[in-house]
Amino acid sequence: MSDSILVVNAGSSSIKFKLYGIDDTDLMPLLSGGMSGIGSAPLLTVKDASGAVLEERHLEASDVPDVSAAQHHLADWFTHHHGTESIIAVGHRVVHGGPAFAEPVLIDDAVLRTLETFIPLAPLHQLGNLDPIRVLRQRRPDLPQVACFDTAFHRGHPELTDRFALPRFLHDEGVRRYGFHGLSYEYVAGRLRDLAPETADGRVLVAHLGSGASLCALKEGQSQETTMSFTALDGVPMGTRCGALDPGAVLHLIEHKGMTPAEVGHMLYHESGLLGLSGLSNDVRTLLASDRPEAALAVAFFCRRVAQAAAALAVTLGGLDAFVFTAGIGENAPEIRRRIVADLGWAGLILSNDANRSGVARLDAPGSRAQIWIIPTDEECMIARHTMRLPGRTAPGATA
Each residue of 143-179: pLDDT tens digit?
999 999 999 999 988 889 999 999 999 998 889 999 9
Average pLDDT for 265-283: 95
Give the pLDDT score at 243: 97
- pLDDT above 50 for 399: no
Residue 84: predicted pLDDT = 72
Residue pLDDT, tens place only, 39-98:
888 899 999 999 999 999 998 888 888 888 888 888 888 888 877 778 899 999 999 998
Residue 400: pLDDT over 80: no
Answer with the residue of higher pLDDT: 82 or 276: 276
Q: What is the pLDDT of residue 182?
A: 95
Decide: helix, strand or coil at residue 397. Answer: coil
**Per-residue confidence (pLDDT) for residue 164, from 0 to 100:** 96
Pairing state of beta strands 322-326 and 203-209? parallel
Split at pLDDT 50, 70, 90, the class of 395 is very low
Instruction: Identify the residue with better confidence: 138 or 208.
Output: 208
Indicate the pLDDT class of residue 121, thresholds 50, 70 and 90: confident
Q: What percent of the chain has pLDDT over 70?
A: 97
**Where in the chain is CATH 3.30.420.40?**
4-149, 198-379
At 209, give phi and psi (nearest 5°). Answer: -115, 105
- CATH code: domain 198-379 is 3.30.420.40
pLDDT given at position 323: 98
> What does the pLDDT read at residue 396?
33
Cα 365 off chain centre by: 29
- Tell me the C-alpha distance between 256 and 41, whole Å: 38
What value does the mean pLDDT take over residues 293-304?
A: 98
Task: Return the half-sphere exposure (C-beta side, CA atoms, 13 A cut-off) of residue 358.
Answer: 10
pLDDT at 41: 86
H/E segment holding residue 172 = helix 168-172
CATH class of 4-149: alpha beta
Strand segments, DSSP code E, in the chain are: 4-10, 15-23, 26-36, 43-48, 53-58, 87-94, 105-106, 145-149, 203-209, 213-219, 222-226, 322-326, 371-374
CA nearest 98: which of 71, 137, 143, 129? 129
The model's pLDDT over 209-254, given as tens digits with 9 standing for 90+, comes to: 998 999 999 999 999 999 999 999 999 999 999 999 999 999 999 9
Predicted pLDDT at 309: 98
Catalytic residues: 150
Contacting residues for 327 by C-beta, under 8 A, at least 6 apart: 181, 184, 208, 209, 210, 213, 377
Tell me which DSSP letter residue 293 carries: H
- For the residues 279-283, what does the mean pLDDT come to? 95
Distance CA 150, CA 82 (A): 30
Q: What is the DSSP string of 176-215?
A: S-----HHHHHHHHHHHHHH-HHHHTSEEEEEEESSSEEE
The predicted model scores a pTM of 0.91
pLDDT at 14: 78
Confidence of residue 288 (pLDDT cuts 50, 70, 90): very high
Question: Residue 1: what pLDDT?
Answer: 52
